[in-house]
Amino acid sequence: MKNVIALLKENFQNLPLIWKLSLYNLKATYANHYLGLLWTILMPAAQVGVFYVVFGLGLRGDRGDVQNVPFLVYLITGIFAFGFISGCINAASNAISSQINLVTKMKFPSSVLLSMSLANNVITFMIMTLIVLVISIINGYSEPLHYLVWFYFMFATIVFSYSVGLIMSSVNILIRDFKNVQANVMRMFFFVTPIFWEPEGRPPLMSTIMAFNPFAYLLMTFRNALIFDGPAFYGDFSDHLYFWSITLFLFFIGVQVHYRYKDRLVDYL
Amino acid sequence: MYKVKVENVSKIYDINRNRIQKILSLLTFGTLYKAKPFYALRDIDFEVNSGDTVGILGLNGSGKTTLSDLIAEATVPSKGKIHINGRTSLIAISAGLNNELTGEENIKIKCLMHGLSEKTIEERYDDILEFSELGEFIKQPIKNYSSGMKSRLGFAIAIHTDPDILIVDEALSVGDETFANKCIDRMRDFQKEGKTIFFVSHATGQIRQFCNKAVWVQYGEMKQFGDMKDVVKNYAEFVSQYKNLSHDEQIEYKDKMVEEQMEKSQKLKLPKEHINMSDLAISGVLFLFMLFGIFFQIYSL
């Protein structure tokens, strides 16, 4: 419990620093690109293009809209939101190993590195959310009040990916093989999460997998908030309980792992 | 009143490379694990007052850099304690700079990380630029810099972050003499302000110039700590003796010392980790809660 408090304190004390440093990092990432920040949109846009041709026009055939939105909008929200979630998890998992050069020679709390990497993703995702929001408002897909659930989505995603990141950032350094395992697990989740397929009309196996897939919970929360005309929140009580009980456990374990290894990680590199 | 107090500090590295044991250790929180400890530093004990300039002397691989990292709080000792009154700043060769960013951005990032406010950074930026002598190159990414330019920038940033304790780890050996002299002048100013400086080197020249105390580290152990003149005299004697040995004898001597260091390490035990019972209880409760969540989800399907 002492560690949890220390971690929260570290992060809240350094909140302005996290924000400023991640802005600089973002600048650095795209410093040598002519198109700069535009790439954060262009890359998912290219992915949306390919998936739309393959699944929207090719494999899926003409099945019309998903709930109240065209398939293209459904696909865009799926790819943007999943890209954000998996981006957060990957960035947090590599936060320590990729930024170790900057901190090996000074006193700097390494849990702040994780927050910094998440903040980077949050900034780019804001742009994508804005695009989705504009589409949604123009077409009147969702109710204005439902848009507020977006903040719940952000909170849940950040806590979840931070928890996974706390564990994986240490484990990836201690046992390098896990980097490959993680990449494969994330790819698997890409296919079992309803990004380019809709849950309705699928075999019951798919909805069972969905119920136990935290990514699906987050993704559908995002869609319910921004584009669907149904209820503001996705899922029922059991879905919320499932997601938060897992996240809470991961977070607590993550904090313990992080504090146990943070001072020793340099020795393992 | 001391500025830096190093109390029986040891730094232990685990050189056991057995992968299966490592994973076991990870899963069982260290209970099923036989470590192979190696003391990089053993029972270092000294106290430094403000205004002192301490030279850290030693051959290659004797633990100088480990000691300077510990004093800078970049790493944590395995045993013992280091008490530090004030803020530290470590200058090592080109360490801690982001290669993709320009010099300008690195100055801002490093200063932010050292806890300076944006306003202060704005005020000091010109001073840093002037000191680093980089001129127009400050707008270039660090990866295009020469090693001398990097160390100049590193030095310029470090001295402008108001450290109370400055640790210089062989950073002056890269720059040219004029710059080294400028740094030494600047360190003299620090001395006058009553700040503490640690100066790491394997050569006695610069230490003779401006240190008043010295630590001699030899294969992980503190051979001597005290007045600079005594320590440097003994160290120089040792080095000249060592140099007089033939090449084979030098290697033999080194091997013998490292073997001794290994042997001494084996006898000592790593500090036992204690498992925090309340944390264990909380994780148990949370684990049960998670199981409840999973079963509730299965039930409600």
Of the residues A5, A14, A98, A106, the best mutation for testing chain B's interface (the one with the most B CB atoms within 10 Å of its CB) is A106
Q: CA of B24, closest CA in chain A: separation in Å? A: 12
Q: Kindly tell me if the per-residue pLDDT of B22 is higher than 80.
A: no
Q: Are B80 and B91 in contact (CB under 8 A)?
A: no
Give contacts of B 130-159 with A, CB under 8 A. Answer: 141
Mean pLDDT value across chain B: 84
Count CB atoms within 10 A of the CB of residue A158.
19
> Residue B30 — pLDDT band, cuts 50, 70, 90?
low
C-alpha Rg value of chain A to the nearest Å: 19
| Contact between chains at A17 and B112 (C-beta distance less than 8 A) | yes
| Contact between chains at A211 and B301 (C-beta distance less than 8 A) | yes
Q: Are B77 and B70 in contact (CB under 8 A)?
A: yes
pTM over 0.90: no
Share of chain A above pLDDT 90, in %: 43
Q: Select from A131, A89, A97, A95 the least CA-distant residue to A21.
A: A95
The interface pTM score, or ipTM, of the predicted complex is 0.86
Of the residues B41, B286, B298, the best mutation for testing chain A's interface (the one with the most A CB atoms within 10 Å of its CB) is B286
Q: Kindly tell me if the per-residue pLDDT of A250 is higher than 60.
A: yes
Q: What pLDDT is recorded for position A56?
A: 74
Q: CA of B135, closest CA in chain A: separation in Å? A: 21
Q: What pLDDT is recorded for position B162?
A: 82
Answer with the residue of higher pLDDT: B1 or A246.
A246
Q: For the purposes of burial, counting CB atoms within 10 Å of the CB of B141, is it exposed (0-12), middle (13-18) or buried (19 or more)?
A: middle
Q: What pLDDT is recorded for position B247?
A: 87
d(CA B35, CA B294): 38
Q: What pLDDT is recorded for position A264?
A: 75
Q: Are B26 and B1 in contact (CB under 8 A)?
A: no
> Residue A61 — pLDDT band, cuts 50, 70, 90?
low
The highest-confidence range among A81-90, B8-17, B115-124, B219-228, by mean pLDDT, is A81-90
- b/e code B147-171 from CB counts within 10 Å (16+ = b): eebbbbbbbbbbbbbebbbbbbbbb
Answer with the residue of higher pLDDT: A246 or B191.
A246
Q: CA of B104, closest CA in chain A: separation in Å? A: 11
The set of residues, in sequence order, having a beta carbon less than 8 Å from that of A201 and lying 6+ positions away, is none
Residue carrying the six token digits 């919970």: A217
Q: What pLDDT is recorded for position B272?
A: 67
Concatenated DSSP letters of A32-46: T-SSGGGHHHHHHHH
> Residue B218 — pLDDT band, cuts 50, 70, 90?
confident
CA-CA-CA-CA dihedral for B150, B153, B155, B159, to nearest 10: -160
Q: CA of B179, closest CA in chain A: separation in Å? A: 22
Beta-bridge mates of residue B10: B79
Beta-bridge mates of residue B19: none
Q: What pLDDT is recorded for position A222?
A: 94
| Contact between chains at B92 and A105 (C-beta distance less than 8 A) | yes
Of B30-34, B170-174, B282-286, the poorest mean pLDDT is in B30-34
Domain boundaries, chain B: 2-86+164-299
Of A31, A245, A266, the CB nearest to B290: A245
> Residue B181 — pLDDT band, cuts 50, 70, 90?
confident
pLDDT tens, residue by residue, A210-237: 999 999 999 999 999 999 988 889 988 9
Of the residues B18, B113, B291, the best mutation for testing chain A's interface (the one with the most A CB atoms within 10 Å of its CB) is B113
Instruction: Sort out which chain A residues have CB atoms less than 8 A from B101's CB and list them.
Output: 24, 28, 31
Q: What pLDDT is recorded for position B29?
A: 63
Cα–Cα distances (Å) from A149 to A14, A143, A153, A192, A226, in that order, read 27, 11, 6, 24, 8
- Residue of chain B whose Cα is closest to the Cα of A253: B283
Mean of pLDDT values over B4-18:
82
- Tokens describing residue B246: 């033939």
Q: What pLDDT is recorded for position A253?
A: 93
Sign of CA dihedral A23, B76, A5, A169: positive
Share of chain B above pLDDT 90, in %: 10
Residues B2-86+164-299: name the CATH superfamily: P-loop containing nucleotide triphosphate hydrolases (3.40.50.300)
The highest-confidence range among A13-17, A163-167, B138-142, by mean pLDDT, is A163-167
Of A39-43, A60-64, A113-117, B211-215, the poorest mean pLDDT is in A60-64
